[in-house]
Amino acid sequence: MELWRFGVFTSLGFLIIIVSQSLGLLVGILFDVVNGTFFGSAVACFQLIFGGFCITYRDMPHYLSWFYNFSFLKYGAEGMIGSVMGYERSALPCPKSDFCQYTYPEKFIDDLGINANQIELDFVLLIIMFVALRIIIYLILKMKLKRKSFCDLF
């Protein structure tokens, strides 16, 4: 077992969790409960559609392709797939009696149309997204607290 693959996979999962939590906090401070429920669902759909789960980058219309770069799920999925299947992974075992389409991990990565050997970039972009969202959340909360007087807080 390659322990570094497990470590990278787990670390990327943790980064996805904290970025999605930050996105949820941002929606929570910007909207009330009713509007936040709707807008949060719309943001989640946006992330899933442009994260490569519903449509791949090569199948996306050109005028929508720039949305693909704003999905944190895209970077998380690319990194997780890269950690499991990338970096010169050896062929997967397949019984002779069965047909295994993805015996060679390179074939699986090519069919998905991702660059699986850029895990470092995926880490950096997820960390940048996390830090940027937390700074935005801090600034919005600070601005909201300045607008309220002390008596309005109770």
Total residue count of the chain as it appears in this document: 154
Chain-centroid distance, C-alpha 121 = 13
d(CA 66, CA 93): 38
pLDDT, tens digit (0-9, with 9 covering 90-100), for 103-124: 788 888 888 777 777 888 999 9
Q: What is the mean pLDDT of residues 88-104?
A: 80
With H, G, I as helix, E, B as strand and everything else as coil, classify residue 100. Answer: coil
pLDDT, tens digit (0-9, with 9 covering 90-100), for 58-70: 777 888 777 888 8
d(CA 105, CA 93): 11
Residue 154 has pLDDT above 50, yes or no: no
**Domain map of the chain by residue range?**
3-92+100-144
- Dihedral, CA atoms, 84, 86, 90, 94, nearest 10 degrees? 60
pLDDT, tens digit (0-9, with 9 covering 90-100), for 42-90: 988 888 888 777 777 777 788 877 788 888 888 898 888 888 887 778 8
CA distances from 90 to 11, 86, 94, 110 (A): 23, 9, 12, 15
Record the pTM.
0.82
